Amino acid sequence: MHICGSADILSRDEIERILQQALRILAEIGIRLPNAQMQAVLADYGARVDAARELVFFPTAMLEQFFSATQAFERDAQAALSFSAGAYPQYYAEPKTGCVQLHTLRTVIEMTRLTDQLSHITNLYDSMGVPSDVPDLLSPLYMRLVVWKYTRKGQCGQVHLKRLLPYVIEMAQVMADSEGGSLANYAFLTCQMISPLQFGEQELSMFVYFWERGLKAEPGQILSSGGTAPATLAGTVALQVAENLVINLIDRFFYANPILHFSNSATVIDMKTAAFQYGRPELGLTHLAIGQIARYLGASFDANCFLGDAKVPSCEMGMQKALNAIPAILAGTRSLGTLGLLSVDEIGSPLQLILDDEYAGALQRFARGFEIDEDTLAYDLIREIGPGGLFIGTEHTARHYRKEHWQPALFSREMYNAWMAGSHQTDIERAADMYNTIMAAEPKVYLGESTEKALLQVIEKAGREIGE
């Protein structure tokens, strides 16, 4: 059985029309790229540059050559799903009272510790929050320190000003010297496009700074249908494909990556409130379309999912996450994130993080499908048990059920009377118990005292030299 990437919602003609529109956008409209050095590199590969307007165009012949030199992504049909948490929310939902407050260094540490201990979360995306009680300029440095100290599940790539980059790299060098590995294992940068079809000058200058030093910088983008993209989903998908191709062109010509990678976050802007919304069915639809186009082009695919707009852990939030996570799996993603967020990306919630980890386990089971062979079809067993029998006491059941049946830790697994006779806890209450257990344990720390001291010295130096 094949689950991931099994959904085809577009005809071949529809895929071709979307791709033609995307290529036309790049050839005739172009992208705004306000960096002369990057313009020159792309021009060397065949792009047409209008320096006065800071526009770069990608002629059809250049794109055809680009596609001809692309290597197909080899999908592992047996690969398990991976789940990430993070995305630097500004606010924190206090688990005991539900009150929402600004993140602090303490609460970011708390969320990072939770991430490290939850079994289905495999990656941390940037940071579990932005601490408000440290200088804003220095917060990306503190976020890196927290990540390195309390988990080994990820890296922080968030930086908002170029003048901070020397200290980012110095901290990464401290880690490389102390923990082993190369500087590139610890120096990482994420930078976002300013959609539609443009990059910011600051982001590009940071990209070039990393690239010149042989370090990886990863551009990203997010579209909102009706906001930064057409209100029609077909137009949004075409623009999404075009921006994905721009990112891949940059990755190819600056980092020699021969494989295409597509991602999708294209959702809607609410026309009543002008709010960006993740918990809508349109996000699931764009996942399915972009995932199929990625397979058509031989590209890998990741979907930005596990997201919602609800302000508290609730049925609303659960339905919203299901509405975009399940289509993302059917579209072909094996990387899902980010867990633990409320109100789009604004609020980090320990309880939602724990509930999402539980749901991740269920999705892992869903994505695995099931095997069909003589043993699993179980004809001889069915004949043996016969009409009116029970299978619960058989050796076949004991041998198979742990693999075949998902085992929840928080979700209800008993009937009503048994639930009432027992703890009669809700999923939220069980999540709160798990939170209290993890927080009561001694924190697991991954940094030695000397390494932490050296990292703090870099942060203090940055504060003296460029601090606010």
Q: 176 and 306 share a domain?
A: yes
The predicted pLDDT at position 468 comes to 60
| Among candidate residues 368, 392, 426, the one where a domain is terminated | 368
Any idea which residue has 């500087």 for tokens?
A: 183
Q: Rounded to an integer, what distance in angstroms lies between the CA atom of residue 253 and that of residue 257? A: 8
Q: Rounded to an integer, what distance in angstroms lies between the CA atom of residue 172 and that of residue 48? A: 37
Alpha helices in 266-309 (DSSP H): 281-297
Residue 51 lies in a domain: no
Alpha helices in 45-187 (DSSP H): 60-68, 105-117, 139-150, 165-179
Q: Rounded to an integer, what distance in angstroms lies between the CA atom of residue 336 and that of residue 304? A: 6
Nearest residue to 353 via CA among 81, 125, 134, 145: 125
Q: 275 and 353 share a domain?
A: yes
The predicted pLDDT at position 30 comes to 98
Residue 240 lies in a domain: yes
Show pLDDT as tens, one digit a residue, over the chain (468 residues).
889 999 999 999 999 999 999 999 999 999 999 999 999 999 999 999 999 999 999 999 999 999 999 999 988 877 889 999 988 899 999 999 999 999 999 999 999 999 999 999 999 988 999 999 999 999 999 999 999 999 999 888 889 899 999 999 999 999 999 998 899 999 999 999 999 999 999 999 999 999 999 999 999 999 999 999 999 999 999 999 999 999 999 999 999 999 999 999 999 999 999 999 999 999 999 999 999 999 999 999 999 889 999 999 999 999 999 999 999 999 999 999 889 999 999 999 999 999 999 999 999 999 999 999 999 999 999 999 999 999 999 999 999 999 999 999 999 999 999 999 998 999 999 999 999 999 999 999 999 999 999 999 999 999 999 866
What is the DSSP code (8-state) at residue 29?
I
Q: 245 and 314 share a domain?
A: yes
Q: Which residues are paired to 229 by β-bridges?
A: 225
Residue 438 lies in a domain: no
Q: 379 and 330 share a domain?
A: no
Q: 79 and 109 share a domain?
A: yes
The total of structural domains in the chain comes to 2
Q: Rounded to an integer, what distance in angstroms lies between the CA atom of residue 41 and that of residue 192? A: 20
Residue 222 lies in a domain: yes
Q: 244 and 383 share a domain?
A: no
Q: 299 and 392 share a domain?
A: no
Q: 216 and 316 share a domain?
A: yes
What is the DSSP code (8-state) at residue 74?
-
Is residue 234 within 8 A of residue 11, CB to CB? The reply is no
Residue 429 lies in a domain: no
CB pairs under 8 A, 24+ apart, for 266-273?
A: 266/222, 266/223, 266/224, 266/225, 266/229, 266/236, 266/237, 266/240, 266/290, 267/223, 267/224, 267/225, 268/224, 268/225, 268/226, 268/227, 269/224, 269/225, 269/226, 269/227, 271/226
Domain assignment of residue 302, given as a range? 67-368
Any idea which residue has 């870099």 for tokens?
A: 458
What pTM was computed for the model?
0.95
Angle, alpha carbons 398-403-404 (nearest 5°): 90
In this structure, what are the phi and psi dihedrals at residue 101, rounded to the nearest 5 degrees? -140, 170
Residue 444 lies in a domain: no
The residue type found at 71 is: Q
Q: 333 and 263 share a domain?
A: yes
Residue 308 sits in a domain whose CATH number is 3.20.20.480
Q: What is the pLDDT of residues 261-290, one digit of tens each?
A: 999 999 999 999 999 999 999 999 999 999
Q: Rounded to an integer, what distance in angstroms lies between the CA atom of residue 235 and that of residue 243? A: 12
Residue 273 lies in a domain: yes
Q: Rounded to an integer, what distance in angstroms lies between the CA atom of residue 369 and that of residue 127? A: 32
Q: 271 and 383 share a domain?
A: no
Residue 16 lies in a domain: no
The predicted pLDDT at position 2 comes to 86
Q: 241 and 383 share a domain?
A: no
Q: 76 and 197 share a domain?
A: yes
